[in-house]
Copies of this chain bind each other. A is one copy, B any other.
Amino acid sequence: MQKKSKFEEKIISEKQIFKGHVVDLFVQDVELPDGQRAKREIIKHNGAVGIILVENDKIALVRQWRAPMQQETLEIPAGKINIGEKDIKEVARRELREETGYVAENLVKVSQFFGSPGYSNEMLYMYFAVNPKKEFDTLKLDEDEFLNVEWVTIEEAKKEIESSLICDAKTLLALNYVEMKKEYKNE
């Protein structure tokens, strides 16, 4: 736990604006450190996982349509944590299997971060797939999910950053991770 912050804002009231399948939206009235009041717009999200899957020096990326940006992207395999799911590694295992057909000897957490800390509490937990193996030829996608898996080298990935097909924070962090060949603990 963090110690008390001198910047802490006290929540005076909170109103729920929207309850969705992916996000909930709240507006809070808060008291600032100087006693003044302000409003905060807050997205609540149950969190997500992303998986770094590397084989033969290529990383697995998922090609899919992203409605918020109205464009196709290439991202590491990822998925939402459902309400009530406590075992995050198990979520990562499921998403890896569903989106790529792969299983791993182990999934090691290498990072966790907020994507948009200014307005959202969504935490992304990033795992590295240790000794991955293809187990299923057919993907097991959600009914509203359409995607392809593509394998790219770091050099190819850099070109797709230039082309804006790779354009999200978790995938850039995953590529840095692979490029820096960071150590992981196989616990």
Number of copies of this kind of chain in the complex: 2
- A185 interface residue, CB < 8 Å from B? no
- A69 interface residue, CB < 8 Å from B? yes
Instruction: Give Cα A165 to B18, complex, Å.
Output: 29
Chain B residues near A131: list those with CB within 8 A: none
Chain B residues near A8: list those with CB within 8 A: 65, 72
Chain B residues near A164: list those with CB within 8 A: 2
Closest to A115 in B: B115
Among A30, A42, A48, the most chain B Cβ lie within 10 Å of the Cβ of A42
- Contact size range, A: 35 or more
Known: A144-B38, A165-B2. A43 touches B67 (CB 8 A): no
- A133 interface residue, CB < 8 Å from B? no
Contact pattern, A 34-52, Cβ under 8 Å of B = 1, otherwise 0? 1010111111110010000
- A168 interface residue, CB < 8 Å from B? yes
- A56 interface residue, CB < 8 Å from B? no
Chain B residues near A117: list those with CB within 8 A: 66, 68-69, 73, 75, 167-168
List the interface of chain A (C-beta within 8 A of B). 2, 5, 7-9, 11, 17-18, 20-23, 25, 27-28, 30, 32-34, 36, 38-45, 48, 63-69, 71-73, 75, 78, 80, 111-122, 124, 143-144, 146-148, 164-165, 167-170, 172-173, 176, 179-180
